[in-house]
Amino acid sequence: MIELKSKEDIEKLKIANRHVAEILHLLKEYVKPGVSAYELDQIAYEECKKRGVKPAFLGLYGFPASLCVSINEEVVHGIPRKDKIIKEGDVVSLDFGVEYEGWYGDAAITVA
């Protein structure tokens, strides 16, 4: 059976996804040579704290971070390690989600 969402539920989904979009937009500005995937993850985590939302991926199935960072040929859901440094010409995928009042937003972008 399909459960219809209330207007309040839909509004919470919009808010969750708005946070995701805004945080990804912010992160895009930090994707440049010399920045580590770990640094991007820390920015995402701190931004979640500021906004009062929970990073959706952190701890999910043991995932150790708030943000998935994949560089070049790396398959999605890459772990943002300190030694994963962005270089000139890299193609960087950022996958991110938040939980807001029980509702989830999730999106990914590619920065080249």
pLDDT digits 0-9 by tens, 83-96: 999 999 999 999 99
CB 20, CB 41: distance < 8 Å: no
70, 78 Cβ separation under 8 angstroms: yes
Q: Are 102 and 12 in contact (CB under 8 A)?
A: yes
Residue 108's pLDDT band, with cuts at 50, 70 and 90, is very high
Q: What is the pTM of this model?
A: 0.94
CA quadruple 17, 19, 21, 23: dihedral sign: negative
Average model confidence (pLDDT) across the chain: 98
Q: What is the CATH classification number for the domain harbouring 83?
A: 3.90.230.10
Quote the number of domains for the chain. 1
106: containing domain: 7-111
pLDDT in tens, 16-48: 999 999 999 999 999 999 999 999 999 999 999
Residue 34: count of CB within 10 angstroms of its CB: 9
Pairing assessment for the beta strands 67-71 and 103-111 based on DSSP bridges: unpaired
Is residue 2 assigned to a domain?
Answer: no
Residue 28 in any domain: the answer is yes
**Looking at residue 109, what is its pLDDT?**
98
